Amino acid sequence: METQKRIETDFKTALKAKDEVGKRTLRMVLASIKLVEVENGRALYEEEVIAILQKEIKSLGESITDAEKAGRDDLIAEIEPEIHILEQYTPRALNDDEITEMAREAITEVGASSPQEMGKVMKVLMPRVQGRAEGSKVSSSVRTLLSSE
């Protein structure tokens, strides 16, 4: 709930400062949060708010890819600041070395030694990296480590 409160406070600040990009971006994410709250019939947990932010960032990233294909530099210039605003509210992403190290620790912890035991490792590892790494990168790292042992 802390992140949602920060977003609401920053939205009010953006309104007062007449920050059009901040206002538009934060209004969009607050609307997404409210929509999910109404659907669930309750206030969201911190992890759920972070997941919504990450979904919005991913969607904006896909929009940039589409704009690049279309040669629309004007759209890219409009979307990039929105991504930077939303990234302020998400946890720092793990780099590949950090993911590999965490995967090694999880493999040692569960005593896995073959790719068939990947499920056990992922069950332990995913909660630790939640919101900080894509599942595909994590599973790829685990698969590589288990195949080489």
Render pLDDT for 76-111 as a digit per residue (tens, 0 to 9): 999 999 999 999 998 888 888 888 999 989 988 888
Give the residue range(s) of CATH 1.10.1510.10 domains in the chain.
Answer: 2-87
pLDDT at 51: 87
What's the CATH code, domain 96-148? Answer: 1.10.10.410
Structure tokens at 54: 């990450």
Cα dihedral 91, 82, 35, 11 in deg (nearest 10): 90
In this prediction, residues 124-140 reach a mean pLDDT of 84
Residue 90: phi and psi, rounded to 5, are -105, 155
Give the residue range(s) of CATH 1.10.10.410 domains in the chain.
Answer: 96-148
What is the pTM assigned to this prediction?
0.71
d(CA 69, CA 64): 9
CATH 1.10.1510.10 fits 2-87, yes or no: yes
In this prediction, residues 122-133 reach a mean pLDDT of 84
Q: What is the radius of gyration, based on Cα positions, of the chain?
A: 19
